[in-house]
């Protein structure tokens, strides 16, 4: 029970990042920079408390991974700006889960048993269906898909997914470091990546400093997913962390005023149900 309670923290913390940052405001560059500054402060605090062993390879991989993560987060913030949090976030999470699972299964051989292939394929199909319904638009809004702004959102999601996927593969499949040790190098890379997107013009404006709160949320989620994995196992921690997109959908509607028609609300309910089942099945496969 304690592990499940721990797992709820990253679900809420990571799932709230999109709508909290958009509620604070700012351009995607400012949101990303502010968030990475908060993550760096959090990582420094963790390092001072834990004082893990550091190596040159850990610093190198951590900084590269942080820059890739920053690319993913910047693209996600841009997509949210064009498409709304309740549409962009499930599409982003869905593409990461599906592509990440396929890469792990096909290239790195994470699925070796027939049961894993069966459950994995069913999970991926449910995720695809779920994210289709959560982002499906009523015919009343069908013209929006032809809107240049909406197409810009899909473009942003493309490089966002590339950044997140590369970061995930680097840490989960290629290099294996202690999460508490790599947090600080990664946070340094995150800040460097954000500075690149800002072309190294990084004024500490009020909206940037306010977005640092989101970085603390990210850091808290990182700590508690470790605690959840230790108490309840990786499957529970993984499954619950991925359910954060549901928080994003609800938060976008309740706190950002993103509107949904009755049809879209029904489709969204179907999508969320498929997503929950698919994420839990993927957790079982990873276990």
Q: Give the tens place of pLDDT for each residue, 215-239.
A: 999 999 888 887 887 776 666 676 6
pTM attached to this predicted model: 0.86
Domain positions in the chain are: 2-286
d(CA 229, CA 241): 11
Contact 179, 218 (CB under 8 A): no
Q: Give the tens place of pLDDT for each residue, 175-212.
A: 777 778 888 999 999 999 999 988 887 788 899 999 99
Q: Give the tens place of pLDDT for each residue, 236-266.
A: 676 677 778 888 888 888 888 787 888 888 9
Question: Phi/psi at 147 (nearest 5 deg)?
Answer: -70, 135
Kind and range of the H or E run holding 266: helix 262-286
d(CA 198, CA 32): 9
Return the ∠ at Cα 102 (arms to 97 and 107), rounded to 5°. 135
């Amino acid at each position: 029970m304690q592990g499940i309670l721990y797992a709820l923290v990253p679900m809420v913390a990571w799932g709230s990042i999109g709508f909290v940052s958009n509620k604070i405001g700012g351009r995607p560059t400012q949101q990303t920079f502010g968030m990475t500054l908060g993550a760096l402060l959090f990582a420094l605090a963790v390092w001072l408390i834990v004082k893990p062993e550091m190596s040159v390879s850990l610093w190198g991989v951590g900084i590269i991974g942080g820059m890739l993560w920053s690319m993913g987060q910047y693209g996600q913030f841009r997509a949210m700006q064009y498409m709304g949090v309740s549409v962009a976030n499930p599409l982003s999470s869905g593409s990461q889960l599906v592509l990440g699972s396929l890469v792990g299964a096909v290239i790195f051989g994470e699925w070796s048993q027939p049961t894993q292939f069966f459950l994995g394929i069913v999970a991926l199909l449910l995720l695809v269906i779920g994210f289709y319904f959560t982002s499906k638009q009523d015919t009343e809004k069908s013209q929006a898909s032809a809107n240049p702004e909406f197409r810009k959102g899909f473009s942003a999601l493309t490089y966002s997914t590339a950044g997140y996927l590369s970061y995930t593969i680097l840490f989960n499949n290629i290099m294996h470091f202690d999460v508490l040790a790599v947090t600080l190098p990664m946070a340094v890379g995150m800040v460097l990546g954000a500075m690149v997107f800002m072309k190294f013009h990084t004024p500490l404006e009020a909206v940037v400093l306010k977005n640092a709160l989101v970085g603390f949320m990210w850091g808290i989620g990182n700590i508690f997913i470790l605690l959840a994995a230790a108490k309840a196992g990786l499957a529970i921690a993984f499954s619950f962390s991925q359910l954060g997109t549901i928080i994003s959908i609800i938060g976008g509607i309740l706190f950002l005023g993103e509107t949904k028609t009755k049809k879209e609300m029904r489709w969204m309910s179907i999508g969320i149900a498929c997503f929950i089942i698919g994420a839990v099945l993927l957790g079982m496969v990873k276990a």
